[in-house]
């Protein structure tokens, strides 16, 4: 079979790359990006911060969770150009002066992961949850962590880790 030639429905001229500034883990990053680059791909492919994982790339698994201006969001469903000027915290930015963040330490203490692929998203999500201050009971923690899927099923230990980090256990 000869290759079929495809003509676009309408000519679209490629837009210029857009200059943006992000403060990622306290360091300013100046980037020039096409508008369709997600925040997730920006972190991984342009800033070499591969701690943030691409799971489903559709906002269904939570592996890409990061904190933007202090709030947890799915970086896969965010265009980097929309966040020009924002402060982004990824899992790489949680430890301070070589000391793990209390949530990171609690995940180790409670063995709150198996394969580890969802873990950076779980940890960033838990940091966001604690900052929100809306979860007190185990039920509330489970509900407000439901955007982070763990296919290994480490949920009981993830819950215990978050309770420890909240100062409960």
Partner 1 sequence: MINFQYSRPGDIADAVRQIAADPRAKFIAGGTNILDLMKYDVERPAHLIDISRLPLTGVEETASGGMRIGALVPNSDLSYHPLIEARYPILASAIRAGASQQLRNMASTGGNLLQRTRCLYFYDVATPCNKRAPGSGCSAIDGINRQNAILGTSDACIATHPSDMCVALAVLEAKVHVAGPAGERVIAFEDFHRLPGKTPERDTNLAPNEIITAIELPARGFAKNYTYIKIRDRHSYAFALVSVAAALELEGKTIKEARLALGGVAHKPWRNKEVEATLNGQPATRESFRSAADALLRDAKGFGHNDFKVELARRAVVRALTQAAQGTPQSQSNKKIV
- Alpha-carbon span 81 to 19, nearest angstrom: 8
For residue 14, state whether it binds partner 1 (rule: CB under 8 A).
yes
Residue placing its CB nearer to partner 1 in the complex, 82 or 115: 82
Cβ 63 to partner 1, closest distance in Å? 11
CA distances from 64 to 10, 47, 49, 79, 168 (A): 34, 15, 12, 13, 27
Looking at 25, 74, 122, 157, which residue binds partner 1 (CB under 8 A)? 74
Q: How far is CA 155 from CA 82, 117, 145, 149, 165, in A?
A: 33, 14, 10, 9, 15
- Which residue stretch of 21-29, 35-43, 94-102, 105-113 sits at the interface with partner 1 (rule: CB under 8 A)? 35-43
What is the C-alpha to C-alpha distance for residues 83 and 31, in angstroms, rounded to an integer?
A: 12
Q: Does 45 bind partner 1 (CB under 8 A)?
A: no
- Residue numbers of the site for partner 1 (CB under 8 A)? 10, 12, 14-15, 18, 34-36, 38, 57-59, 62, 65, 71-74, 77-79, 81-82, 125, 128-129, 132, 134, 137, 139-140, 142-148
């Amino acid at each position: 079979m000869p290759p079929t030639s495809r003509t676009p429905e309408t000519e679209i001229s490629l837009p210029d790359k857009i200059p943006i500034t992000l403060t990622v883990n306290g360091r300013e990053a100046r980037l020039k990006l096409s508008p369709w680059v997600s925040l997730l791909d920006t972190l991984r492919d342009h800033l070499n911060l591969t701690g943030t994982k691409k799971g489903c790339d559709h906002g269904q698994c939570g592996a890409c969770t990061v904190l933007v201006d202090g709030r947890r969001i799915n970086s896969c469903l965010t265009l980097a150009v929309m966040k020009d000027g924002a402060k982004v915290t990824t899992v790489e930015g949680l430890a301070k002066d070589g000391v793990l963040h209390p949530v990171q330490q609690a995940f180790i203490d409670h063995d709150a992961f198996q394969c580890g692929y969802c873990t950076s998203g779980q940890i960033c999500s838990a940091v966001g949850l604690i900052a929100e201050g809306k979860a007190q009971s185990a039920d509330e923690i489970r509900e407000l962590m439901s955007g982070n899927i763990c296919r290994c099923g480490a949920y009981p230990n993830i819950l215990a880790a978050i309770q420890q980090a909240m100062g409960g256990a």
